[in-house]
Amino acid sequence: MIERLELRNFTAFTGLALDLSPKINVIIGENGTGKTHLLKAAYGLCAGAPLFKNKPDTSEDELEATLTSKLLRLFMPLDDKLGKMHRQGAADQAYLSARFAQGQKIAVTFFNNSKALAVQDRANYEQYLAEAIFIPTKEVLSLVKGMTDKTHDQKTVELIFDDGYVDLANAMMKSGHEDTEAKINLDPRLNTIIPQLVSLIGVHNPE
């Protein structure tokens, strides 16, 4: 879980620093103020987890390439250029950082003409292995089977949907036999968060 998120000169943000609750956080703002961009940035900074799970000895170049690719796939900027996410008119570099619950941190920067993110700080980042899930605000349940159908051209799917949708669709199609108790033991805070989510959403009893 992310404890602190910082964004500077990134898309709509001149400078933002958020200390996040270990429980449930609610982001409120008018349309166009950057709520979705905030969530996508947080999600993108978590992209190292699946990378290090599959390859613990990942190099910094590989990490930079993975984080760059994830941000580009999430934001899908014009001409697929990283610099398009740099805040217009800002003289300083764009900066994104996340500090996680167990003290791990990732901080990256880029300029208008950057082709890849530059990692500035990755303190114990390889130890953060909890894969994030981003649930887009638009309806995706009816699209999941089509998005994950192996007979469809994946490049066409990725032209239509950013990685927020693609990752969620793939996660929803995975087998549901994971050990929930083991996940809670890995991060005990889930034991309190899950009941709160159930309470917020409400439980529908068909009887």
Q: pLDDT tens across 2-13, in order?
A: 999 999 999 999
Q: Which two tokens stand for residue 141?
A: 């349940």
> Mean of the pLDDT values across residues 167-187?
69
Helices 35-44 and 60-75 pack at an angle, to 10 degrees, of 150
The beta strand positions in the chain, using DSSP E, are: 2-10, 13-19, 94-100, 105-110, 118-121
Q: What is the pLDDT of residue 207?
A: 44
Residue type, 30: E
DSSP 92: S
How far, CA to CA in Å, does 65 sit from each of 47, 60, 118, 155, 181? 11, 9, 9, 19, 34
User: How is the chain split into domains, by residue range?
Assistant: 1-131, 133-196
Query: Residue 126, SS3?
Result: helix
Superfamily of domain 1-131, CATH level 4: P-loop containing nucleotide triphosphate hydrolases (3.40.50.300)
Q: Which two tokens stand for residue 147?
A: 């998005």
pTM: 0.77
Q: What is the pLDDT of residue 206?
A: 46
Q: Under a CB-based contact definition with an 8 Å cutoff, are residues 101 and 129 in contact? A: no
Encode pLDDT of 65-91 as tens digits.
999 999 999 999 989 999 999 999 999
